[in-house]
């Protein structure tokens, strides 16, 4: 599956149990407020659970491939776990912390604008990062 619009991605995110993803994205927003792509990677990394249910091996790849056309190469690499050492570490740390903490990270709709910004930036770059 390839996501072609923020609306398609939002529908998929609403179908996921998304509190942990919201907490991961919120933690990344706190630690790296200007890095919208890193925040978005934290938000979307769990969609593989819906795309490849029961397939642990395929889950991450499915999520990464689905967001690549919409959100670009960097988000794709981050979701796959192939970002730079620092980015991969920050994402992993935020994922772990999101499991251990139960703070209110807001609602999914709060992230629509950020998703639209990242998708628009990717689109303006002509799909070349």
pLDDT (tens digit, 9 = 90+) per residue, 81-120?
Answer: 877 899 999 999 999 999 887 888 989 999 999 999 999 9
| Of 45, 59, 42, nearest in space to 94 by CA | 42
Q: Which domain holds residue 20?
A: 6-124
Q: Do the beta carbons of residue 44 and residue 71 sit within 8 Å?
A: yes
Sign of CA dihedral 118, 120, 123, 124: negative
User: In the chain, how many domains are there?
Assistant: 1
Mean pLDDT of 70-84: 91
pLDDT band at 54 (very low <50, low <70, confident <90, very high): confident
- Alpha-carbon distance of 54 to 114, in angstroms, equals 30
129 lies in some domain: no
39 lies in some domain: yes
pLDDT band at 128 (very low <50, low <70, confident <90, very high): very low
């Amino acid at each position: 599956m390839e996501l072609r619009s923020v609306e398609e991605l939002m529908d998929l995110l609403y179908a996921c149990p998304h509190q942990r993803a919201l907490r991961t994205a919120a933690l990344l927003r706190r630690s790296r407020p200007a890095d919208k792509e890193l925040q978005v990677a934290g938000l979307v990394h769990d969609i593989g659970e819906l795309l490849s249910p029961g397939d642990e091996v395929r889950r991450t790849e499915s999520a990464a491939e689905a967001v690549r056309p919409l959100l670009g190469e960097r988000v794709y690499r981050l979701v796959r776990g192939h970002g730079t050492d620092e980015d991969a570490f920050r994402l992993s740390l935020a994922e772990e912390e999101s499991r251990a903490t139960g703070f209110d990270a807001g609602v999914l709709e709060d992230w629509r604008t950020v998703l639209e910004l990242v998708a628009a930036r990717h689109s303006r770059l002509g799909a070349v990062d």
